[in-house]
Amino acid sequence: MFGTQLLYENTIQLFRVKPSLSTSIGTLTLERPTILASGILGISLDVFERLYRAGAGAVVTKSLSKEPWDGYANPTIFSVKGGGWLNAVGLSNPGAPNFAKTISSNKDVPIIVSLVGSVEDDFDFMVKQFENCKVSAYELNLSCPHVAKVGLEVGDDVDLVKKIIKKVKNTNFSPRPKVDSVILRITQNNTVSEELIETINKIFSYRRKTIQNIGKNFDITIKSDKRLEDMENNEIIKLAEKIKRI
């Protein structure tokens, strides 16, 4: 009888536990795992609040530039047979300074501000426009293929991407995270085989070692004192291809 009573009490306690759908992306914690992607709905705080109340864990703004952009002339959106829409608006937006005023009164919605630019100083300028806004994270748009000299073209320049990331420091976040955190939106242009990915993963198990010492683990001679974390992406891929051929 005592065992049955104890089981009953434990069962009641179990069902009192509040379910959680919370998830984390880097230092960003969300109550719900769904995020509105950057696009045509990311235009106003009123829309963000409605989407958040409807169940979105966070919302991503339209990609914002340093100055207002008109984008492409209409038509820029059309429906697809069978359901759905396609759009190519050309990154039209009111500019980061103007949009910061639009969301300045935000109190509750986790907003991820999407930024697009050509050089690292563009991103530094734009982030500073949101210093007095409640912003949860920044998305760096390095994948848009529609507009020249931004988006995809910037994302293909590894050195420039590194410079941009350094500009978006943790001091620009509110609340300030314990570590630097940034979301990159990129497009994979080159296909990497599963076998090569496996080799790259093996290489990364030897982090903090020089390339010369990593080579010894694979019975190859590499005369280099460079460390893995100091290498460019294309250098790591070339190293993996060399190891894979053994």
Is residue 144 among the annotated active site residues?
Answer: yes
The dihedral sign for the CA sequence 64, 65, 70, 74: negative
For 180, counting Cβ atoms within 10 Å of its Cβ (0-12 exposed, 13-18 middle, 19+ buried), the class is middle
Contact 125, 112 (CB under 8 A): no
Residue 104 amino acid letter: S
Q: Which residue has the tokens 């990154």?
A: 91
Q: Which of 91, 111, 144, 161 does the annotation list as catalytic?
A: 144
Which of 2-29 are b and which e, b meaning 16 or more Cβ less than 10 Å from the residue's Cβ? Answer: eeeeeeeeeeeeeeeeeeeeeeebebbe
How many Cβ atoms from other residues are within 10 Å of residue 246's Cβ?
A: 8
Contact 225, 210 (CB under 8 A): yes
Residue 210 is classified by DSSP as B
Cis peptide before 97 (omega within 30 of 0): no
- How far apart (Å, rounded) are the C-alpha atoms in residues 55 and 35? 9
Alpha-carbon 22 to chain mean position: 18
Q: Could you list the active site residues? A: 144
